[in-house]
Amino acid sequence: MSSIFGKLFSVSTWGESHGAGIGAVVDGCPPGLELSAQDLQRDLDRRKPGQSALTTARKESDQVSILSGVFEGRTTGTPIALMIPNEDQRSHDYSDMQLWYRPSHADLTYDQKYGFRDYRGGGRSSVRESAARVAAGGIARKLLAQTCSTEILAYVSSVYDVDASIDPAMVTFEQIEASSVRCPDPIASKKMEEAILAAKADQDSVGGVVTLIVRNPPKSIGEPVFDRVNSLLAKAALSIPACKGFEIGSGFAGSRMRGSAHNDTIYAENGEFHTRTNRAGGTLGGITNGEDIVCRIAFKPTATISQAQQTASRDGKNGTLSAKGRHDPCVVPRATVIVESMAALVLVDLFLEQRARAGLV
């Protein structure tokens, strides 16, 4: 099973939804970075369950501990071990899933591939694993902020059939966090909340789209031809549970334009090159050009719902399943920080690769 992400700045996550805990080992972080558990806790608090009626009722404090790799408040350059205990497992809720496969869930494929699976909350396939990514991403985020003044933001731009109307360039962290849905458009935010609560009342779920903005990304990072920054961002996003689509810049809308309308004109100012528009989304030829990176990531409706659904059992019988357990009626309000964290891991790895090429330490 693949559990390692990155080359120079690599992250190995471990743990299951209903095990004793989850965590990550981060290798390749340069020495001397000021780091404490509190630096990582802000983002974990944004991801943790039980935040509101819009999320799962599971209660986890998600308090992270740094077990190694930090001495006297600074990274030593050795592996950084992170641990987050699981505190509120209710494994008995999943007794039916031991036999019956949840529609659109990984239950079936895990069984087919491994011949055995941890059915308690989905085990390794649960979005609970993403807390480890967020903890590791916090280290990457801080390193990028200190070295490049990089700011990474993600917000909910649509839920079900409700779309936000806001310019990504104008979005602030405070606007995002002021919304229970993490949508900076107050009117759309209210409608999104209503759509999520309506689905929850029907024992159903809805999906949505997260928009990612990276301001002041490191310039000239990205490794053509296979490790383009856009291709690695897509890989990172699509590795998040429930993610179904990724686009950067103009995305699919660009396929409906002519080149004369789509091309970003370039101009020089004070020895710096810029583009007047940013339909490329901050990359050209897979290399960052210094403009904001803008991506959109689509998430499907949560697979585990309480409505009775037709399915099959491990022994090949057909029947119905009304899934129990505590699940998000919509994943996107908590997915924003996961998207940010995965983007940080991609960018910091490419940044360190480019810095090594330039002979810097």
Domain spans, the chain: 4-357
Tens digits of per-residue pLDDT, 13-71? 999 877 889 999 999 999 999 999 999 999 999 998 767 778 766 667 889 999 999 99
Q: Average pLDDT, stretch 112-124?
A: 78
User: Could you tell me which CATH number the domain at 4-357 has?
Assistant: 3.60.150.10
Evaluate whether 291 touches 274 at the Cβ level (below 8 Å).
yes
Model-level pTM? Answer: 0.94
pLDDT tier at 201, thresholds 50, 70, 90 = very high
Q: Which residue has the higher pLDDT, 274 or 321?
A: 274
Q: What is the share, in percent, of the chain residues with pLDDT greater than 90?
A: 78
Q: Average pLDDT, stretch 294-323?
A: 93
CB atoms within 10 A of CB 167: 7
Q: Which residue has the higher pLDDT, 18 or 158?
A: 158
**Separation of alpha carbons 114 and 142, rounded Å:** 38
User: For the ranges 105-114, 130-139, 328-337, which has the lowest average pLDDT?
Assistant: 105-114
- Does the pLDDT of residue 361 top 80, yes or no? no
Read off the tokens for 80: 């950084």
Mean pLDDT of the chain: 92
- Does the pLDDT of residue 92 top 60, yes or no? no
Q: What is the pLDDT of residue 287?
A: 98
- Distance from the first to the final alpha carbon of the chain: 33
Q: What is the pLDDT of residue 359?
A: 73
- Does the pLDDT of residue 306 top 70, yes or no? yes
- Does the pLDDT of residue 118 top 80, yes or no? no
Q: What is the pLDDT of residue 40?
A: 97
The DSSP letter of residue 220 is T
Q: How many helices (H) does the chain have, and how many strands (E)? A: 8, 18
pLDDT tier at 190, thresholds 50, 70, 90 = very high
- Does the pLDDT of residue 119 top 80, yes or no? no
pLDDT tier at 223, thresholds 50, 70, 90 = very high
pLDDT tier at 326, thresholds 50, 70, 90 = low
- Does the pLDDT of residue 285 top 60, yes or no? yes
What φ, ψ does residue 296 adopt, rounded to 5°?
-130, 135
Decide the pairing of beta strands 70-71 and 74-75.
antiparallel
User: For the ranges 4-8, 120-124, 158-162, 201-205, which has the lowest average pLDDT?
Assistant: 120-124
